[in-house]
Amino acid sequence: MIYLDYAANTPIEKEVLDTYYQATMYYFANPNANHSLGLQAKDIIDQITKKISEQLHVLPEEIIYTSGASEANNLAIKGVLERYKHRGKHILISPLEHNSILSSLTKMQELGFVVEMLPLKKNGQVDVAQIKSLLKEDTILVSVCSVDSELGIRQPIEEIGKVLKDYKYCFFHSDASQAIGKVAIDYQNVDLVTVAPHKFYGMLGTGILIKKKNVGLKTQIDGGKSTTVFRSGTPELAHIVSIEKALEIAFSKQQERIEYVKKLNHKIVDKLKEYSQVLLNHTECSLPHVINISLKGIKATKFAELLDHQGVCISTKTSCCPVETPSKMIYALYHDRGRALSSFRISLSHLTTEKEIDEFLAIFSQCYKECFENGKI
């Protein structure tokens, strides 16, 4: 099998898994317990949280552990809006947000909140110059993903943060799920940041919401004592330790991995440009880890099936989106329903080999001929 869906999920680093296993074996006591083993577990969590805060350039008390990015996004969106609803009900977001943000906002719209989309430039980045004109007196939240999951476009988070820092009643959230380990971003002026370890070779079921100390939240999970008052649940020491290890590896090897992926990206894109029915959807602002294309007149799901039968695993859209529907992100950028129906994503990793790329290109050529020359679809 040739796996080209690393933006959906990544395999766990062996060191991360080993760290997790060791933690479950030696520090299994409940960190909330007052006996010696419980206190030892709590001390380990405090030490590891300090390390994670240093890796992410925040304070330890600004770390909230979650079950993943979806929970973190829900907590950020619903938590802020419910906590500050007396201030206003206007929200600005990019059209490239993950479904966990869009679905959270749909719920909030039912409660009277108003959501407005930020305009995109041709390169897929939010038009920062227009943000000030869209901000209202009752705007209480702006949410822009650091990197989106389908086009891999790196948003100007630092520039947006500089604009919003003067609006003390408006908070700025960024979903960094697709950014960690792939690109350096300064989150100094971002109030809430979502982190998803399973996107950078950590474990599924783990996540972080960075919540700066000036931000309040309405809790979404109520219960017993935890590492923070903003999210209840027995602290999962082994998960926390695994996050720290995944971050350590991701940051230490980030640049060399980026350079390797760039080479793979150039090889694929150069070849795809030779096909007359291929449209390149990603832009100059996309990270090299993501290649997004459309095949004129061909449903992406059908072409993906052909590839899958040949042992190639790719995604037509973000995995959480329903099949047989246009890509919202492609449509937002190109306003072309046909193009959005025929798009699919090739996502790369440092684990992708050149041999796999050669085999993929050969299989792609075969499937392309079946579609456009033999009329199979």
pLDDT of 372 reads 87
Q: Say whether both 110 and 248 belong to one domain.
A: yes
Q: Residue 300 contacts by C-beta under 8 Å, 6 or more apart in sequence?
A: 294, 316, 317, 327, 341, 342, 343, 344
- Residue percentage of the chain with pLDDT more than 90: 94
Q: Say whether both 295 and 234 belong to one domain.
A: no
pLDDT of 373 reads 78
Question: If we measure between CA atoms, which residue out of 33, 71, 63 comes closest to residue 47?
Answer: 63
Q: Say whether both 51 and 181 belong to one domain.
A: yes
Last residue of a domain, one of 237, 252, 267: 252
Q: Say whether both 324 and 196 belong to one domain.
A: no
pLDDT at 377 over 60: no
Q: State the pLDDT confidence band at 224, using cuts at 50, 70 and 90.
A: confident
Concatenating the DSSP letter of every residue in 68-129 gives SHHHHHHHHHHHHHHHTTTT--EEEE-TT--HHHHHHHHHHHTTT-EEEEPPB-TTS-B-GG
Structural domain includes residue 265: yes
Query: What is the CATH classification number for the domain harbouring 332?
Result: 3.90.1150.10
pLDDT at 323 over 80: no
Q: Domain range spanning residue 87?
A: 14-252
pLDDT at 349 over 80: yes
DSSP β-ladder status, 90-93 and 114-117: parallel
pLDDT of 86 reads 95
Structural domain includes residue 377: no
Residues 270-282 have a mean pLDDT of 97
Last residue of a domain, one of 252, 268, 296: 252
Please count the other Cβ atoms lying within 10 Å of the Cβ belonging to residue 371.
19
Structural domain includes residue 94: yes
Q: Say whether both 297 and 333 belong to one domain.
A: yes
Q: Say whether both 189 and 209 belong to one domain.
A: yes
pLDDT at 69 over 80: yes
Structural domain includes residue 98: yes
Q: Say whether both 231 and 281 belong to one domain.
A: no
pLDDT of 338 reads 94
pLDDT tens for each residue of 34-56: 999 999 999 999 999 999 999 99
Q: State the pLDDT confidence band at 322, using cuts at 50, 70 and 90.
A: low
- Residue percentage of the chain with pLDDT more than 70: 97
Tell me the C-alpha distance between 252 and 37, whole Å. Answer: 32
Q: Say whether both 236 and 300 belong to one domain.
A: no
Q: Residue 328 contacts by C-beta under 8 Å, 6 or more apart in sequence?
A: 95, 321, 340
The whole-chain average pLDDT of the chain stands at 95
280 contacts 296 by C-beta, under 8 angstroms: no
Residues 232-248 have a mean pLDDT of 97
Q: Say whether both 87 and 181 belong to one domain.
A: yes
Tell me the C-alpha distance between 215 and 75, whole Å. Answer: 12
Residues 364-377 have a mean pLDDT of 83
pLDDT tens for each residue of 152-200: 999 999 999 999 999 989 999 999 999 999 999 999 999 999 999 999 9
pLDDT of 156 reads 98
Q: Say whether both 26 and 127 belong to one domain.
A: yes
pLDDT at 375 over 90: no
Q: Say whether both 22 and 136 belong to one domain.
A: yes
Known catalytic residues?
320
Q: State the pLDDT confidence band at 350, using cuts at 50, 70 and 90.
A: very high
Last residue of a domain, one of 201, 225, 252: 252
Both tokens of 139, joined, read 């705007």
Residues 96-114 have a mean pLDDT of 97
Q: What angle do CA 10, 248, 79 make, to 5 degrees?
A: 75
Residues 128-148 have a mean pLDDT of 97
- Looking at residue 12, the DSSP 8-state letter turns out to be P
- Please give the tally of structural domains in the chain: 2
Kindly report whether the global pTM for this prediction surpasses the value 0.75. Answer: yes
pLDDT tens for each residue of 8-35: 999 999 999 999 999 999 999 999 999 9
